[in-house]
């Protein structure tokens, strides 16, 4: 018996569906098979069993999705005489009403999301560039002077690098016991503004900035004042000007929102007494006291035990008003200055209700403001603190940082998984993520929290990394660097060919190296101009071709080593039913050490694509057979129509 949830012959429609939508499920069986088949459909608070009717070699039933956004699972219970078989579930843990299935085999997934869920189309069609502000570009040296003077006046340890070429601090400063990210290179908002034309030439349509608000650290995740640009970077007027200039060039600015905790040295907590305000640490009469959790001894709850990061009660009414709903909330403050959205730090640690309220407030102001979450796992099945998260089902996030893509892409390029495994990963996201979400997901290869892609591929390391102490002595040899460069080309090609918004971490376009923090946050420099030209080629290609932005996607394991990516629009409409032209582009990627000759027929592959669109594709192409050679450690792009 056969059921393939990614092919419309077995499940119609393929992929995530909206509340109340009808889904037809079919199980193939030889005609005359004398069995009884039931479909078991369940979630955390839903369980139904449906009888399946035999019809021309299939057992089928049509079911209506619940009027509640959720993740459903299903499996088939097949009875033959005194024997019962489970298809899609195997003995292991409790599932549904007493059925036992393995921990990692919950059945086939159906994602049910809100009707009318939309995400900003500029995300789906755009290219993102992530900037760690202190390390990108110096624009106005006086900002460094003013920033150093301000923070020293606040009693903070500050180290200003004399040269842009110096290495970031990676250990305790002289006389200190612990490492403190208190070193600054002088990158600022004016420097970003000066480089906007360069970013525009690269095809960038969106800049995501790591935190820019006042803080005692260079990373600024320990917020000091939510409404004030840090003096090292400039001031609020500089941010307004940056947004205005960027907007004229067709570039959106997204800010980093850190709302699960503040800094202990902040306007709100004021543990060090540096601010004129009455902070929560100082008095129960502070307007910010209820933001935090204190015990009877006056001790406070902190983020992951870091005493410099007191946690906030995100659902406290005063906190919600200050951040989201108030007349001059943090949200409205930065939108009024020109921001186009927020990336939510540690979204898993923010209650769904907080994220829902933020989305509702943002979209009421302007529907095309973007809300992106930091999530490191599959966003549809993520659980945190015992709660199944629902922020990807239409009431919360527009997008998330696609760390699973980075992990699987690297494993494929390093030979840790084959093309078929990579195909299944890509197909899984395509089928399980709501369509508007999938086409807006932030596809990254590097970030401020993980090693740079060139170093990852040069070293052969992915998730298993040495300690910070061992990273200090790690050297990327010229031979390893060449390997990283070769494989980076392939990674960029994949990143720019799949649905979602590709995200370039500053300097990756020039092949910068760096392991974990702080080595992945080095000052921007042009290490490899050749890789820049190659990245620019695929970036401009994606910017020009609507098919690569919102066209349909078909993933094909052409061989064990070669993965094929087909993007197409065969009916002059894209995935959203909007005008797109017509055509098809095929990307072949071979990370192996041998030249490959591959041959396959596109007509034989329809996973993840509606049947009608697949038929249109076949008619448009005429000849659907692909027979070509691809060099080792290389990629090839072919226009098929």
Place of tokens 């069993």: 49
596, β-bridge pairs: 630
Angle between helices 478-497 and 403-413 (to 10 degrees): 130
Please check whether residue 306 is in contact with residue 329, taking contact to mean a CB–CB distance below 8 angstroms: no
Distance CA 475, CA 55 (A): 64
Query: CA distances (Å), 620 to each of 181, 295, 357, 506, 549, in order?
Result: 57, 68, 45, 40, 20
Count the neighbouring beta carbons within 10 Å of the beta carbon of residue 149.
12
**Four-residue CA torsion sign, 438, 444, 448, 450:** positive
- Is the separation of the CB atoms in 16 and 33 below 8 Å? no
Q: How far apart are CA 519 and CA 472, in angstroms?
A: 8
Contact 449, 526 (CB under 8 A): no
The candidate with the shortest Cα–Cα distance to 279, out of 109, 412, 153, 288, is: 288
Backbone φ, ψ for residue 300 (5° rounding):
-130, 155
Catalytic residue selected from 345, 398, 517, 607: 345
CA distance 498 to 202: 18
- What does the block give as tokens for 347? 């979204």
Map tokens 């020109």 to a residue: 338
Question: Each residue of 246-270: b (16+ CB within 10 Å) or e?
Answer: beeeebbbbbbbbbbbbbbbbbbbb
Which residue in 134, 374, 508, 596 is the catalytic one? Answer: 374
Q: Helix 403-413 to helix 419-432 angle, to the nearest 10 degrees?
A: 160
Q: Using omega within 30 degrees of 0 as the cis cutoff, is the peptide bond preceding 264 cis?
A: no
- Residue 116 in contact with residue 166, Cβ under 8 Å? no
Contact 337, 209 (CB under 8 A): no
Q: Is 612 a catalytic residue?
A: no
CA–CA separation, 18 and 219 (whole Å): 40
Phi, psi of 630 (to 5 degrees): -135, 130
Check: CB of residue 278 under 8 Å from CB of residue 285: yes
CB 341 within 8 A of CB 372: yes
User: How far, in Å, CA of 243 to CA of 157, rounded?
Assistant: 31
State the catalytic residues: 345, 374
């Amino acid at each position: 018996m056969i059921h393939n949830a990614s092919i419309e012959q077995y499940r119609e429609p393929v992929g995530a569906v909206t509340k109340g939508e009808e889904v037809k499920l079919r199980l193939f069986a030889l005609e005359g098979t004398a069995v009884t088949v039931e479909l078991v459909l369940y979630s955390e608070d839903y369980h139904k069993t449906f009888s399946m009717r035999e019809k021309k070699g299939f057992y089928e039933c049509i079911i209506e999705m619940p009027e509640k956004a959720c993740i459903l699972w299903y499996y088939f219970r097949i009875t033959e005489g005194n024997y019962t078989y489970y298809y899609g579930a195997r003995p292991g843990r409790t599932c549904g009403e007493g059925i036992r299935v393995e921990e990692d085999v919950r059945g086939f997934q159906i994602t049910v999301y809100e009707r009318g869920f939309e995400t900003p189309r500029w995300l789906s069609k755009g290219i993102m560039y992530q900037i760690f502000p202190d390390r990108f570009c110096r624009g106005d040296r006086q900002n460094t002077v003013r920033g150093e003077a301000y923070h020293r006046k606040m009693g903070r340890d500050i180290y200003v690098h004399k040269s842009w070429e110096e290495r970031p601090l990676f250990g305790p400063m002289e006389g200190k016991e612990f490492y403190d990210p208190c070193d600054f290179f002088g990158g600022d908002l004016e420097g970003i503004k000066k480089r906007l034309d360069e970013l525009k030439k690269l095809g960038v349509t969106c800049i995501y900035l790591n935190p820019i608000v006042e803080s005692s650290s260079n990373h600024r995740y320990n917020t000091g004042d939510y409404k004030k640009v840090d003096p090292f970077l400039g001031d609020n007027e500089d941010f307004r000007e940056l947004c205005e200039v960027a907007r004229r060039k067709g570039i959106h600015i997204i800010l980093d929102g850190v709302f699960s905790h503040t800094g202990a040295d902040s306007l709100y907590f004021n543990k060090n007494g540096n601010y004129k305000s009455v902070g929560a640490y100082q008095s129960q009469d502070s307007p910010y006291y209820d933001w935090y959790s204190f015990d009877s001894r006056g001790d406070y709850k902190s983020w992951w035990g870091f005493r410099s990061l007191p946690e906030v009660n995100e659902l406290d009414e005063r906190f919600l008003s200050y951040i989201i709903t108030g007349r001059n909330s943090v949200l409205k403050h930065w939108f009024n200055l020109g921001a186009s959205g927020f990336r939510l730090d540690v979204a898993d640690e923010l209650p769904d209700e907080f994220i829902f309220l933020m989305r509702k407030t943002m979209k009421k102001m302007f529907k095309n403001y973007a809300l992106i979450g930091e999530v490191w796992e599959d966003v549809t099945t993520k659980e945190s603190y015992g709660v199944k998260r629902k922020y990807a089902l239409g009431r919360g996030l527009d997008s998330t940082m696609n760390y699973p893509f980075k992990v699987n892409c690297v494993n494929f390029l390093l030979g840790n998984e084959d093309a078929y495994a990579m195909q299944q990963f890509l197909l899984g996201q395509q089928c399980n993520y709501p369509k508007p979400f999938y086409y807006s997901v932030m596809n990254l290869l590097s970030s401020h929290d993980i090693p740079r892609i060139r170093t990852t591929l040069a070293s052969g390391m992915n998730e298993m990394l040495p300690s910070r102490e061992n990273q200090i002595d790690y050297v990327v040899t010229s031979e390893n660097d060449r390997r990283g460069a070769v494989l980076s080309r392939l990674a960029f090609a994949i990143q720019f060919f799949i649905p979602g918004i590709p995200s370039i971490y500053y300097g990756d376009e020039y092949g910068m190296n760096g392991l974990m923090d702080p080595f992945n946050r080095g000052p921007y420099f042009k290490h490899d101009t050749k890789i820049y030209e190659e990245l620019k080629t695929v970036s401009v290609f994606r910017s020009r071709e609507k098919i690569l932005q919102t066209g349909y996607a078909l993933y094909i394991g052409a061989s064990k080593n070669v993965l094929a990516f087909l993007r197409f629009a065969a009916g002059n409409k894209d995935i959203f039913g909007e005008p797109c032209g017509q055509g098809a582009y095929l990307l072949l990627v071979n990370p192996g050490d041998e030249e490959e000759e591959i041959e396959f027929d596109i007509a034989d592959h329809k996973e993840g694509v509606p049947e009608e669109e697949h038929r249109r594709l076949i008619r448009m192409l005429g000849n659907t057979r692909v027979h070509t050679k691809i060099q080792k450690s290389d990629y090839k792009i072919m226009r098929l129509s």
